[in-house]
Amino acid sequence: MPEGPEIETEKLHEAIHEEMHHAGAGDGASFLKKVALTTAILAAIAAVSALQAGGTVNEALALKTDATRLQSEASDQWSFYQAKGLKAAVAEACETSWKATGAVPPPIYAEKKKRYEDEQKEIQDKAREREKERDLKIEEAEVLLHRHHAFANAVAFFQVSIALGAMAALTRVKPIWFGSMVLGLAGIVLFVIGFMR
């Protein structure tokens, strides 16, 4: 699920460069150069942010897949645990039927019952170990998904910021460019937060 800029930034840059061509020299050209520079910087950071968003979500999905595999293995162990419990119960029932008739049960029933109970303890440990591993994978995936959201939100801010920069270049309205810069800074903050998580 890779994240990519939804707005065609290449076309926006072309529009800004065309306007710079038409503006010639002077104050208008200086303003357009600043807009072009800032949108180019924001586009570069947006590209890195999009790559990070895609990478983190892919890692999270891989971890979730591992967690599902571990859950399956734990479920298998618990089924095995129950089967051993049933075998122990059958051995105990056989032993009890011997006792009910007043006869001494063969020692094999008590040995089987003890063996199955011991095996259950080992199986239980394996099942709980798989569940702990599963929980760690899920926790790690959640952290990565939070990072993904920060990067994806940063991409959205960068896209709007770049679009506003293009609009500022076309209309030569400085307040629109300042709005573009504010959104670009918000995107940078989210981008940095993504790395800090």
pLDDT at 197: 72
pLDDT digits (tens, 9 = 90+) for 44-98: 999 999 999 999 999 999 999 999 999 999 999 999 999 999 999 999 999 999 9
Show the DSSP H helices in the chain as ranges.
9-23, 27-100, 107-171, 174-196
- Dihedral (CA of 31, 166, 181, 46) sign: negative
pLDDT digits (tens, 9 = 90+) for 166-197: 999 989 999 999 999 999 999 999 999 998 87
Mean pLDDT of 122-128: 96
Mean pLDDT of 124-148: 96
Cα–Cα distance between 37 and 157 in angstroms, integer? 17
pLDDT digits (tens, 9 = 90+) for 6-30: 555 566 556 656 655 665 555 667 8
Mean pLDDT of 153-173: 94
Q: What is the pTM of this model?
A: 0.70
